[in-house]
Amino acid sequence: MPYIKYRGGRAPESVKEAASYEDPSALCHQGLAKLSADARRFTEELHSDGEGRAGALRSYVANHPYPGLEHVGGVGFVEGKALRAIDEEITAEEYEQLRGTIRRANDEYRAKKTDNLLKNNDPLRRASSVHEELGWRTRVCVASHTELEHHVAYPLSEGAAAYLRVRQETPSGATLQLIDIYHDGGSDIEEALLEGTDYADMLADFLALVGYGAAHIVNVLGTTVPYCRVAEEFEIATFGASVLNTPVPVHPDQFGGYGLDQIGRLALRHLREGLSAPLPTAAFVAFWNALERQAEEEARAKNLPRLVKCKDCGAERAEGWDLKKGFEAMYAEAGLDPSLFDGHRKRRGVIQHGAKLPTASYIDEVFQDLSQVQAAAVVAVAKRVGVAPGTITYLSTSWPVAVFACRAHEDRTVEVTFRRTSVRAGAGVLPQRVCGDAGRTVELGVSLPPKINPLALPPVQR
């Protein structure tokens, strides 16, 4: 196993205990990214199979020099004596010396990177006057495999732009980013909070696609005015209201789902996802999936065939099972009017295949149907798995908004006063003959004194 040093930014495949330059702008990496991209384009045109592309890629890179080959990229030792033209065998002493040099360069790179990050991270920075004049600032924390530039406007629409304020790297490889979204949204701060959250989702959508990796909203800190002035009152809206469904006692004899088949297990999983969903639209789809998974079985058990007419003679014949009638039978079991099915099916189509986003007005529409679909799904799944619900009531909620009045003082303290709260909610109520006797308390409110993340507050204009 000879000690080697290699040139450029690509180490030999068999290298062991390598030390290489981590700084992507190091001299040994110059031209490598473009060469790799050119090589991939070249090999994709020649080969359709992965093995052929991999071999052609290695050959292309090996036969096309790039500027970084003029500089040492790293050291290590390799198995066997086969060396590339860009590898050079060195002594153990040279190996230790070069490895120490590379490690010191990497330490300096990491320290410089940390210093620059601390220098650029600034949660108190303001936006351009054009974006501040939009009226509202919603601050969110996003985790993604992409990294925005600090304090640069990223357009989301004609009336919205995002600015990165603080970036933090994590061991998982994802980056936590504190982002300000400046947007319009009328004069109502609650609606502005919901609109800002929609824009945050849009930003995460873009990040996931551009970075070809996961992106999600970790936290919505709140919506405020873009900046405030000392002694002048302003509002802040957060998802700080609390929603409580009290626990229901469960006894060992209530678990009766032994030997569930695949249909029962999947229906039970859909039901749990619906009862745990963060948004009514997601809950509606999960409950619908629980019913849909059982509709054919229900139609078969009740002998409800689907009748079709011959295009030539008009004669009717049975072809499979009537899923609609299966749904209607489950609705009737839950004490619901079977005619509700058509409207619910249309709602499901809009949610899953339409273009409506979960806006405040649309959520209110979904709540009108959610409790009915929820009750039908719970009754059908409970019957299927042999486990009765222990309570009659469950509260589905969305966007529990709390609004506070704030006032900044000269000593940098902020006075916060609770103003109002609102929760979009819909209660799912089961027939008493289906569920047990356990009660449940449903409570809505705000914990006082107010708990507001200081990062949610806007900068002070002096």
Same domain, 418 and 313: yes
Contact 396, 374 (CB under 8 A): yes
| pLDDT for 81 | 66
* CA distance readout (Å), 379 to 135, 160, 264: 47, 45, 13
Residue 57 covered by a domain = no
Residue 56 covered by a domain = no
Strands 3-7 and 72-78: antiparallel
> Using 50, 70 and 90 to split pLDDT, how confident is the model at 348?
very high
- Which of 179, 201, 230 is the C-terminal boundary of a domain? 230
Whether residue 449 is preceded by a cis peptide bond, meaning omega within 30 degrees of 0, is yes
- 258 exposure class (CB count in 10 Å sphere: 0-12, 13-18, 19+): exposed
DSSP 433: T
Residue 440 covered by a domain = yes
| pLDDT for 202 | 94
Name the residue with tokens 């409207």.
343
- Over residues 68-90, mean pLDDT: 88
Domains of the chain: total:
3
Same domain, 394 and 435: yes
Residue 36 covered by a domain = no
- 438 exposure class (CB count in 10 Å sphere: 0-12, 13-18, 19+): middle
> Using 50, 70 and 90 to split pLDDT, how confident is the model at 225?
very high
> For the segment 375-426, what is each residue's pLDDT rounded down to a tens digit?
999 999 998 888 888 888 888 888 889 999 999 999 889 999 999 998 888 8
Three-state secondary structure call for residue 426: strand
| pLDDT for 57 | 87
- Which of 74, 98, 119 is the C-terminal boundary of a domain? 119
| pLDDT for 303 | 82
Domain of residue 271, residue span = 242-461
Q: What does 193-255 look like in DSSP terms, one character per residue?
A: HHHHHHHHHHHHHHHHHHHTS-EEEEEEEEEE-S-EETT-EEEEEES--EEEE------GGG-
- Over residues 89-107, mean pLDDT: 95
Residue 181 has pLDDT above 90, yes or no: yes
Three-state secondary structure call for residue 436: coil
Residue 60 covered by a domain = no
> Using 50, 70 and 90 to split pLDDT, how confident is the model at 258?
low
Residue 75 has pLDDT above 80, yes or no: yes
- Over residues 148-157, mean pLDDT: 96
> Using 50, 70 and 90 to split pLDDT, how confident is the model at 16?
confident
Same domain, 328 and 443: yes
CATH of the domain at 160: 3.30.70
Same domain, 264 and 409: yes
Same domain, 258 and 407: yes
Same domain, 299 and 172: no
Contact 280, 426 (CB under 8 A): yes
Residue 40 covered by a domain = no
Distance CA 283, CA 342 (A): 18
